[in-house]
Amino acid sequence: MSHKILIINGSPRRNGNTSIAVHWVQEGANSKGATVDILNLTSMKNVGNGCIGCRRCQNSDEYRCFINDDISQAVYAMTDYDVIVFAMPLYFGTVPAQMKSFMDRMYSHIKINNGHMANPKFENKAFVIIATTGAENSNGLPLLEEYMKDFALEFKTRLYSFVIPSCNADRNVLLEKIDVREQAEYFGEKLANI
């Protein structure tokens, strides 16, 4: 059976390169029967509100974040999916603030008690990075990949990545790259049954 996929789009630019990549990957995944939901962080209220370190989540058997906003609900509901995609532009070699705020709220899915125990619902799930970068080569990417590797390790999930380099401020440049579109769609097809 094809997977249920959540794509979290953390680009502050609503219709930028990352959104194009997300759309292409979604098309590929849909073509193989996967269900894809997209969460655009920029259209959510309070996206800038990161974890406040209150640790009330540590007393919740339901792995809930107690900040009363829509990010908490989205973080709670993410265990409904088989594949969770973190799509983002590379910012100074790492995760943009909006995405980082969201990811920090996922602390609610971890219990800190003589070590870190993730919500068992994450077992067998896959985390995926989609990154668009300005650089032509992999400059700065190792930092992002190292960070995401550690993050996935916390949740004991597998990690896959798809990177689109040479993306500048003009989205039309990417739109004309037919070969990149094909690669992105193919990656989406693979995600459907990863």
Ligand X SMILES: Cc1cc2nc3c(=O)[nH]c(=O)nc-3n(C[C@H](O)[C@H](O)[C@H](O)COP(=O)(O)O)c2cc1C
For residue 3 the two structure tokens come to 């997977």
Q: Give the residue among 140, 43, 29 at the shortest CA–CA distance from 95.
A: 140
**Does 90 help bind ligand X (rule: CB under 6 A)?**
yes
Residue with tokens 């920029």: 42
Q: What is the DSSP string of 41-105?
A: GGGSTTTT-------GGGG-TT----S-SHHHHHHHHGGG-SEEEEEEE-BTTB--HHHHHHHHH
Position closest to ligand X via CB: 16
**Does 112 help bind ligand X (rule: CB under 6 A)?**
no
**Does 140 help bind ligand X (rule: CB under 6 A)?**
yes
Residue 50 to residues 69, 70, 179: CA-CA distances in angstroms? Answer: 11, 12, 37
Return the residue of 133, 157, 180, 189 that touches ligand X, per CB under 6 A.
133
The mark string for 20-59 relative to ligand X (x by CB under 6 A, - otherwise) is ----------------------------------------
Choices 33-41, 59-67, 134-142, 148-156; region in contact with ligand X by CB under 6 A: 134-142
Element (H, E) at 180: helix 178-191
**Does 134 help bind ligand X (rule: CB under 6 A)?**
yes
Number of residues interacting with ligand X: please give it, by CB under 6 A: 18
**Does 89 help bind ligand X (rule: CB under 6 A)?**
yes
To ligand X, the closest distance from the beta carbon of 49 in angstroms equals 20
**Does 163 help bind ligand X (rule: CB under 6 A)?**
no
Q: Three-state DSSP class for 168?
A: coil
**Does 162 help bind ligand X (rule: CB under 6 A)?**
no
How far is Cα of residue 21 from the mean position of the Cα atoms in its chain? 13
**Does 147 help bind ligand X (rule: CB under 6 A)?**
no
Footprint of ligand X on this chain (CB under 6 A)?
Answer: 11, 13, 16-18, 89-93, 132-135, 139-140, 167-168
